[in-house]
Amino acid sequence: MTDAGQTPPPPPASGTIAYSARAAMQDSSLAMGRDVVRALVEMITNAADSYGRLERRGVVVDGVIEVFAERLRSGDFNRLIVRDHAEGMRRDEVFARILQAGGRTSEAGDRGVQGRGAKDIAVFGRAWYESIRDGFYTRVLIEPGHYDELDERAAKPDDYRRLGLAEDGSGTTVALLVRRRQHSVPRHDNLARRLARNVQLRAIMTSSARVVVLADLVRGGAAPTVLHYEPPPRALVKSVELAIEGVPEAKGTLRIYRHDEPLEDDRTMDRDSGIVIDDGSGIHEATYFGLEGRPGALRFSGWLQCSYIRTLQDRWDEAAIAGQPTDDPANPVGIIARTRAGISRDHPFTERLAAFVEGQLRPFVAEEEETQTQQAGHVSEDTRRRLRQAVRDLGAKMAEVLRRLEVEYRPAGPDEPQPAAPVRLRVVPPSVYLAPEAAQTFSIHAWPEAWGDAPPESWTAAITIADEEVAALSATEVPLEPDPRDPRRRRGAFLVTAGTVEDATVLEVRLGSESEIVEVAVAAEDGVPAAPVRLTFSQGAYRAHPGRPKTLVLMAPVSSIADAGATTVRLTSTQAEIGVPEGVELELRDAGDGRRWYEGEFACLLSAPVSGRIRAALGGEAAVCQVSAAEDRGRLGFDFYPVDEAPRYASQGRADWSLPKGVRTLRIFAQHPSLRPYFGDHLALQETREARMLLAEIVAMELALWTLAEADEKAGGALSRDAHTYSSRLKEVSNDYLAVAHRCLVPEMMGSRA
């Protein structure tokens, strides 16, 4: 304790920022992602690297990697154990390889690059490392952020027996104690499947020099499972040397295979699909890059080997270790992601590599999709007409339901920001009130993945303003750069400064073929509108995009509500492409200064680039506003249609969501055993009432599940925490959607005809 009058010394003027145990745990959690299979991947690859180092020195090895799992029904921990018969480690090697975060201890040819994997696994509980080498036994206990009991002594016979080694052998056993209440260990069959199919273990699981076995310690009499990966039946269709524009030193090969049957659209590390990205020392991911989501791509897989990926990472590491700047424009960040999710999409070489892969694969994908189109049954024009109507009306209903659920389940306290869904273009905020001469910053967001295989020629947005007297722009062109807060997104910003004229205008932000309309109103007041004198819309005209719900506001004076004796306003539109609800409920609003009126909002959905009017009626009063589409985007917020296919996997069920070219689309498998009798061969019976009823039922349920998932995310899990509440809401919402779907697809059952 310091004396009361003693002043503590000031902190030093310079030094190294302390890396606390809490920071280490956060870092490890990010790398492991709460998935114990990731920890096993690290443990297995470390064992394989140890065998590889011996082989490079000419030592003959058995290559056996033993994996054990113990799942208990009581106690604090389950156990995962990985054992090898490779090098083993002495105390100084354990300290250098295991107990130093970020150290470069891997040799050329090893998968390890981050120098963290052996430590990260302890985030699941604690990890015991035991090793024998040169007749010495070494052990250490690692817990998140620290280690304990590092010890070395002469190895005893019992040590060799416990580690499964011959008396003069060497090797390492890692026992990961997994906290049962926080983390689950997959059941034996599921764990065997996931390890065998794991992309990052693909080279090990297909190698004749390695034997990986998985045993269940609880089932003592059961034989261990030998883990091996066998790709679905395929044939090599192309093998080509890498030729990356502007990077002649990037050597390697790309092999493309065509499979006998389409692969599952699985984008996890357990996938069969995608192009394996291998740097010669380790595999990082499997991906189609910009062709993800294309149905034709799922006929193909591939293997790309490029040692230049590891060269770039080594150069970046060496500069960082030497304290040199890491601002080389050709290598500005580490290309291997810290999260172990693959190679960084922010690295310029990744963009060039993706362009090469897509260029080689795209012709095969296009040809496959053309063949699928020719062979499959086609959706008739009558079915298409009904589906367009259903998409329009269900979109409006979905916006209404989401708004209701968001209000009902709004979490207490400040909302956590939610990750935005990938779209081609978004401007935030979409509208704003400004005082005269005030300024507002707008953000432009674009997700390259939503553009599919047709990105804009330039990631530069063009901005125009309708009335320059109302407001001025800081720039008319804004480059969209990778967003450090969301690596999947590009972002740019511009400033709008209001003039002295109190009026409203619109901005148009255009990126490639996409555009967004932003409303800017300049007013000296605080944005509270004047009390209405009759039923009226808040604006005389609205602009919208096809497929996106547009919120409209209706207002009425208290006297109008009293005269009508009702608070519900009836809504109609002049165009079938302008979808509106049948009515909107107005609620009393009090400005706090004596002004009171009724107000309500609703969503309309334009399914095409049309212009028309929306009419509102309350008692003897009516109000009209103009609504028009900004442009023909050719896209809807979501889409659905039957396909003349059977599901490839049982997990797909009768229908499956996909994202072709950025549009969320529900494909209904007409050849599913439960649907084929009603749709017939090649969709021959698609126009029958029975087939249309099934379409309505499936769409309503799938859309309800999607709606609740969106609402639950915004509500911070408030919906899913109570199974009874979730089930009740699912039935309620699916019934809402089913009524709309029946009206569009089976109108004869609703008392009308299409």
pLDDT 10s digits, 469-485: 778 888 888 889 887 76
Mean pLDDT of the chain: 83
523 pLDDT higher than 90: no
How many angstroms separate the Cα of 209 from the Cα of each of 48, 206, 332, 519? 10, 9, 37, 65
pLDDT tens digits for range 92-140: 998 888 776 545 555 555 555 444 556 688 888 899 999 999 999 999 9
**Residue range(s) of every CATH 2.60.40.10 domain in the chain:** 421-629
Beta strands 171-179 and 211-216, pairing class: unpaired
Name the residue type at position 158.
D
Q: What is the pLDDT of residue 661?
A: 52
pLDDT tens digits for range 481-502: 887 767 788 888 888 888 776 6
pLDDT band per the 50, 70, 90 thresholds, residue 206: very high
Bond into 262 cis (ω within 30): no
Using CA of residue 342, residue 347, residue 351, residue 353, what is the dihedral sign? negative
Name the residue type at position 705.
L
Lowest mean per-residue pLDDT among 239-243, 257-261, 546-550: 546-550
| Structure-block tokens of residue 685 | 């019976």
CB 306 within 8 A of CB 469: no
- Provide mean pLDDT across the span 299-322: 91
pTM: 0.55
Give the H/E segment covering residue 386.
Answer: helix 381-408
- Provide mean pLDDT across the span 725-741: 88
Distance from C-alpha of 291 to C-alpha of 230, rounded to nearest angstrom:
24
CB 285 within 8 A of CB 341: yes
The larger pLDDT score, comparing residue 293 to residue 311, is at 311
pLDDT cut 90: percent of the chain above it: 36
How many angstroms separate the Cα of 227 from the Cα of each of 54, 189, 213, 732? 23, 11, 6, 46
Distance from C-alpha of 54 to C-alpha of 49, rounded to nearest angstrom:
9
527 pLDDT higher than 50: no
Q: What is the pLDDT of residue 4?
A: 54
pLDDT band per the 50, 70, 90 thresholds, residue 346: confident
66 pLDDT higher than 50: yes
pLDDT band per the 50, 70, 90 thresholds, residue 216: very high
**Superfamily of 421-629 according to CATH:** Immunoglobulins (2.60.40.10)
Distance from C-alpha of 659 to C-alpha of 580, rounded to nearest angstrom:
26
CB 667 within 8 A of CB 656: yes
The larger pLDDT score, comparing residue 409 to residue 226, is at 226
Q: What is the pLDDT of residue 591?
A: 73
pLDDT tens digits for range 501-511: 666 777 888 89
Name the residue type at position 443.
S
**Residue range(s) of every CATH 3.30.565.10 domain in the chain:** 21-227
How many angstroms separate the Cα of 723 from the Cα of each of 406, 708, 729? 18, 12, 10
pLDDT tens digits for range 150-196: 999 999 999 999 999 998 899 999 999 998 888 888 889 999 999 99
The larger pLDDT score, comparing residue 435 to residue 478, is at 478
- Provide mean pLDDT across the span 8-15: 66
- Provide mean pLDDT across the span 705-709: 86
Q: What is the pLDDT of residue 198?
A: 95
Name the residue type at position 749.
M
Distance from C-alpha of 638 to C-alpha of 605, rounded to nearest angstrom:
12
Lowest mean per-residue pLDDT among 7-16, 57-66, 567-576: 7-16
pLDDT band per the 50, 70, 90 thresholds, residue 413: very low
**For the structural domain made of 21-227, what CATH number should be given?**
3.30.565.10
- Beta-carbon contacts of 199 under 8 Å, excluding residues fewer than 6 positions away, are 269, 270, 271, 274, 276, 283, 285, 286
The larger pLDDT score, comparing residue 412 to residue 478, is at 478
The larger pLDDT score, comparing residue 420 to residue 465, is at 465
